[in-house]
A and B are shown apart, each in its own frame.
Chain A
Amino acid sequence: MTITLDRRKFLQRIYQVVIAAGAAPLLSFEELLAAEVNSAAVGWSRPNLVWLQGASCSGCSTSLLNVEQITILDFLTYFTRLVYHPNLSTASGDQVPQILNKLAASGKPYILIMEGAIPVGMPHTCMLAHKPISEWAGLLAAKALLCIAGGTCAASGGVAKMAGTLTGAESLDNFLKQRAIKTPSVNLPSCPMHPDHLVYTLLHFIKARRLPDLDDARRPRRFFSHSVHERCPRYAAFQARDFARSIGEEGCLMELGCQGPVTYNDCIALGYNSNTNNCIRAGHPCIGCASELFPRPLLYHTRAEAKAKVGGNLRGSAR
């Protein structure tokens, strides 16, 4: 008997073995794409997605459109069912609350992607279809199979929660805790959210039947185990105590306000815009956009400004 296997089938068999062996966290993006979906095990092959925007800027949504590991068409028609997205859906007006209510009542499995923080203190500062977004998030999160916090605002509050804001904006995780909602969550900080982080996490959930390994802050270890600093192309300069004195110089950017040591993200390795560039390669200190303390009150500064402000307002704010 001859067995004919094309390359794709062959790869799929291999990955079934990999997954069965529990080695799924090691899967690369390409391996996940090639892996076969075990629809019987998951209960669905293309999960329903519902996307909500709280106190957000739509930057994570526009960032998603830059994904090139798969096409947006494949994302919409092959891997997932995007039941509702505020910037892509043709549905408008009353159709929207109808969709959201019907989904929540349907008993069908779905994933909630939350972009932006949730203003808990002043719920009326973010309204959708006559109801605060916190009500919609509560309704949909409670019945979701999984909640994903897309971007820094949803993961830790971000600019919506910066010192001096009044709305009592909260991260998705804090919100779930306050409401005693037990749905598992994943945090994908970075401002904006990296599209590959979201697509990888979804593919892993669909194909490997579970979430990628998460750290204590519920971030996939694959992306958030290393600080920007330790993988920085200027790390050798740091070790040699060779510090840039101003923008444009070679050397470590630490003395110009770089937040690399306190920021965990794989932007150095993965880059942005299909690895076209990242902040350090653009000659700019890291602004810590994936850090839970983003935004700090002092980001890039000159050396002279740093000296003047140390002891004064370097850490803190005038408030």
Chain B
Amino acid sequence: MTVTRITVDPLTRVEGHLKFETRVENGVVASARTSGMLFRGIEKALIGYDPRTALQLTQRVCGVCPYAHAEAAALALENAMGLRLNANGQLLRNLIVGAYQVQDCLLHFYQLSALDFIDVTAVLEYRGADPGLTAMRDWVRSETSSQRIFPAAPFLPRYQGDYLKDSTANLSAVRNYLESFTIMADLHKMVALFGGKSPHPVAIEAGGVTTRPTIDNLAKYRTLLNRVERFVHTCYREDILSVGKAFPGYFQEGRGYGNFLSFPYFPDSAGKNHFFAGGATIAGRHTPLDLKAITEDHTYSYYQNKPSAGIKPLGASRLEPLDWKQFQREEQRPDGKYSWSRAPRYGGKVMETGAAARVVNTYHSGRNPALNQLVDRLNRDLDIGLQDYNSVLGRHLSRYITVTLLLGRLREQLEQVRPGVLGFIEKEVPRNVRGIGITEASRGALGHWLEIDDKGLIKNYEMVMPTTWNMGPRDATGQPGAVEKMLIGTKIADPANPLELARIVRSADPCIACSVH
């Protein structure tokens, strides 16, 4: 038996500091460890702060999905206040988080993942007149023939492997890669119109949104939305389908446990009837959401706290990180702690969260016929079934499904906003209460747990993040984390270029800043 170890540190084109290691036996991954390598300790630092600051500061946990933290933190505080938003407050908040979710999914596909599938060097064969592509071609040509130390950076070097061969599809995807920057900037403008700025929109507060909608900013939003819709319904759709058709094997690769967790997401103007259903699908069976089933484990995480397993949200008010010496000792131990990320469990089970979980759970719930129709149609086109959403391309496809359906909702809800009416209700911070806020970030199920003391300050704060579910390490019982499980069983063509593994890890859209915070 030949045994090799593959360590990828860092895995780039994800948010943050991600490392993973695999043990490969006879060309197949036998075991895997995923590690989040940044710890800031923001969650417990919030203790003693005013609860409203959490809305701004938890956004700084992640600059890629800050909107979701703003929303979850607002929901937690509103839950503690016993406050319901007025229609405009809910609609404007949806317009902010919806546009941001779309931006985030496009960023993930084009900037973070597409270059694992499409071949940038295909621009060398370009003969047309598209200004972006000709500029790119001339640049790649002059770079690759130059004597520079890093020719064509940041697009080279890359892992060698089986990139897309169809030159038309490649060129189209490269053109769309370039255009996606403009579209993402447009989406950030949509966020900023009601959020103030993007990243880190300020205007989401407990009580609604501070921006007063006007005919003017609603019209601007609509104009930008038109452009985004065109891009998504043509370019993004085309690229997802051409990758899907060129790499059918990746509807099998990256199989995880198949346990899916999602939270209710995107309500109507009354804050009800969420467009995406929450819940858990375990072994193909969909059950309603039970937040009490959530615990965290840090047996393999770099913390000293005891006990290290079965901790409920808000169950600990301090996290004691290992010091330098302890850290080094764990690094040397064969079975030592290996990540700053903790390992959340749902009734003891490892759950995958993210776009695939959102789509699968909503599909099973049967409450959104538009989603079921779209899924059925795509499945016929691509010759796949719902079980194949538990895969690399299943996850990418689910993001496309999220985006295309969300755009329709944004258009509907934009028309429901009443210009001139403030979507904000003022209420004071209550004392001695707890609140929970749950939503879906682009990366999946996000929960904030808040406890307020007798002075109206934060007594304890807990965030359970999508990437913590996905990228967390093993737990006390030895169960591998969700992405670790996805890696196990993967065939590696060339250990020096583990492109297969990079594709699998990136498909889960890891965000390390979130997962550890």
Interface set of A (CB-CB < 8 Å, partner B): 48, 53, 55-63, 65-66, 68, 71-73, 76-78, 81-93, 95-96, 99, 102-103, 106, 108, 119, 122-130, 133, 158-160, 162-167, 169, 191-192, 246-248, 267, 272-274, 276-279, 281-284, 287, 289, 295-302, 304-305, 308-309, 312-313, 317-319
Contact = CB atoms under 8 A, between A and B. Distances in A.
B203 interface: yes
Given A279-B196, A312-B455, 19 more contacts: A48-B150, A57-B513, A63-B63, A65-B111, A66-B188, A78-B139, A82-B153, A83-B153, A84-B154, A87-B112, A89-B153, A90-B159, A91-B154, A247-B210, A278-B197, A283-B212, A284-B202, A284-B210, A318-B48
Nearest to B15: A58
Interface string B61-93: 111101000000000000000000000000000
Interface stretch (B35-43, B349-357, B406-414, B485-493): B35-43
Interface stretch (B262-270, B278-286, B420-428): B420-428
Interface stretch (B177-185, B242-250, B443-451, B474-482): B177-185
Contacts of B107: 62, 65
A122 B193 CA distance: 40
B50 A248 contact: no
Contact of A302 (B48, B184, B426, B457): B426
B185 A165 contact: no
Residues of B in contact with A, size category: 35 or more
Contacts of B513: 56-58
A248 B421 CA distance: 9
Contact of A295 (B19, B53, B111, B202): B53
Contacts of A296: 53
Given A103-B149, A191-B60, A85 B50 contact: no
Given A57-B61, A282-B203, A284-B202, A272 B192 contact: yes
Given A61-B63, A248-B422, A295 B56 contact: yes
A90 B39 contact: no
- Among A71, A87, A119, max chain B CB count under 10 A is at A87
- Among A84, A103, A191, max chain B CB count under 10 A is at A191
29 contacts: A58-B64, A65-B107, A65-B185, A77-B136, A82-B153, A86-B16, A87-B111, A90-B12, A90-B154, A92-B8, A103-B150, A106-B149, A125-B38, A126-B37, A126-B39, A165-B40, A165-B45, A247-B207, A273-B188, A274-B189, A276-B189, A276-B192, A279-B196, A279-B202, A299-B53, A300-B205, A302-B426, A305-B456, A309-B456
Contacts, number: 308
Contacts of A289: 200
B386 interface: no
B7 A88 contact: no
B202 A125 contact: no
B16 A53 contact: yes
Contact of B66 (A59, A248, A297, A317): A59
A300 B340 CA distance: 32
Contacts of B192: 272-273, 276-277, 282
Contacts of A89: 12-13, 153-154
A15 to B, nearest CB: 24
Contacts of A273: 185, 188-189, 191-192, 197-198
Contacts of B321: 122, 125, 166-167
Interface string B322-344: 11100110000000000010000
B61 to A, nearest CB: 6
B210 A92 contact: no
B199 A63 contact: yes
A91 B154 CA distance: 7
Nearest to B20: A93
A319 B194 CA distance: 35
Contact of A87 (B15, B66, B148, B426): B15
Interface in B387-443: 422, 424, 426, 428-429
B47 interface: yes
A90 B11 CA distance: 10
Main secondary structure, interface of B, reads loop
B115 A90 contact: yes
A247 B426 contact: yes
Contact of B10 (A48, A78, A96, A305): A96
B165 interface: no
Contacts of A124: 302, 322, 324, 327-328
Given A72-B181, A106-B149, A162 B47 contact: no
A90 B48 CA distance: 42
A125 B193 CA distance: 36
Nearest to B194: A282
A232 B335 CA distance: 57
Contacts of A299: 50, 52-53, 56
A282 B210 contact: yes
Given A72-B181, A247-B210, A289-B200, A57 B154 contact: no
Contacts of A164: 41, 44-49
Given A162-B45, A287-B56, A301-B52, A88 B13 contact: yes
A267 B120 CA distance: 37
A59 B7 CA distance: 27
A162 B42 contact: yes
A93 B158 CA distance: 10
Nearest to B49: A297
A247 B424 contact: yes
B128 interface: no
A65 B56 contact: no
Nearest to B340: A125
A92 B14 CA distance: 11
A130 B178 CA distance: 33
Given A167-B40, A274-B189, A128 B17 contact: yes
Contact of A62 (B150, B199, B323): B199
B363 to A, nearest CB: 31
Nearest to B207: A247
A184 to B, nearest CB: 24
